[in-house]
Amino acid sequence: MKVSLYQEKETPIHKLDPRTKIISSVFLFVCALIFNHPLYLLALFSPLLSILLLFRSYPLIFRLKYVLILLFFFSLILWPFFVKGENILFWIASYPIYEESLYYGMAMGIRLVTFVVIGLIYVSTTKNEETMYGLIALGFPYPFSFAIGTALRLVPSFVDAAVTIMEAQFSRGLELETKNPFKILKILSVLAVPMFVTAIRNTNMLGLSLEARGFSPSARRTFYLDLKMRPKDLITIFSVLSILLFCLYLRVFLGKGVVIPGRI
| pLDDT band at residue 243 under the 50/70/90 scheme | very high
Any idea of the CA torsion for 248, 254, 259, 262, to the nearest 10 degrees?
70
Asked whether 30 and 244 are in contact (CB, 8 A), the reply is: yes
Could you report the per-residue pLDDT of 161-206, keeping only the tens digit for each?
A: 777 777 777 777 766 666 665 666 666 666 777 777 877 787 788 7
Strands (E), the chain: 88-92, 95-98
Q: Which helix (H) or strand (E) holds 263?
A: none
* CA pair distance 198, 165, nearest whole angstrom: 10
Residue 188 has a pLDDT of 65
Residue 53 has a pLDDT of 79
Ramachandran category for residue 94: left, alpha or beta (phi over 0 → left; psi -120 to 50 → alpha): left
| pLDDT band at residue 3 under the 50/70/90 scheme | low
H-helix segments, 93-230: 99-125, 128-137, 142-171, 181-212
| pLDDT band at residue 1 under the 50/70/90 scheme | very low
* CA pair distance 162, 152, nearest whole angstrom: 16
Size of the chain, expressed as the number of residues it contains: 264
- DSSP H helix total and E strand total for the chain: 9, 2
* CA pair distance 1, 162, nearest whole angstrom: 10
Q: Between 40 and 70, name the one with better pLDDT.
A: 40
Could you report the per-residue pLDDT of 112-155, keeping only the tens digit for each?
A: 999 989 988 898 888 888 998 899 889 898 888 888 887 777 76
Q: Is 98 helix (H, G, I), strand (E, B) or coil?
A: strand
Q: Which of 57-61, 88-92, 99-103 has the lowest mean pLDDT?
A: 57-61
Domain range summary for the chain, segments of one domain joined by +? 17-126+240-264, 141-212
Could you report the per-residue pLDDT of 39-52, keeping only the tens digit for each?
A: 999 999 999 988 88
pTM above 0.75, yes or no: yes
Asked whether 40 and 257 are in contact (CB, 8 A), the reply is: yes
- What average pLDDT does the structure give for the chain? 83
Asked whether 127 and 223 are in contact (CB, 8 A), the reply is: no
Q: Between 37 and 216, name the one with better pLDDT.
A: 37
